[in-house]
Amino acid sequence: MIVAIASAMFIFLFGWGADYFGWDSANSMIQLALVTSFVLGILCGFKARG
């Protein structure tokens, strides 16, 4: 359930975050930061699990 919520939030922020929050990034650095934080969150989850 938590994975589904996190995935939905990531897709929303990645796709429509700039329009919704008014983020301005010419080089898509905000989207790169979102992808990086999502991947690191997955890695930390696997690491904490065992």
Q: Are 24 and 18 in contact (CB under 8 A)?
A: yes
pLDDT at residue 25, rounded to an integer: 73
pLDDT at residue 46, rounded to an integer: 84
The 3-class SS string of 12-50 reads HHHHHHHHHHCCCCCCCHHHHHHHHHHHHHHHHHHHHHC
Cβ-based neighbour number of residue 38 at 10 Å: 17
pLDDT, one tens digit per residue, over 1-50 is: 777 888 888 888 888 888 888 877 777 788 888 888 888 888 888 888 87
Query: Can you tell me the distance from the alpha carbon of 50 to that of 36, in angstroms, rounded to the nearest whole number?
Result: 22
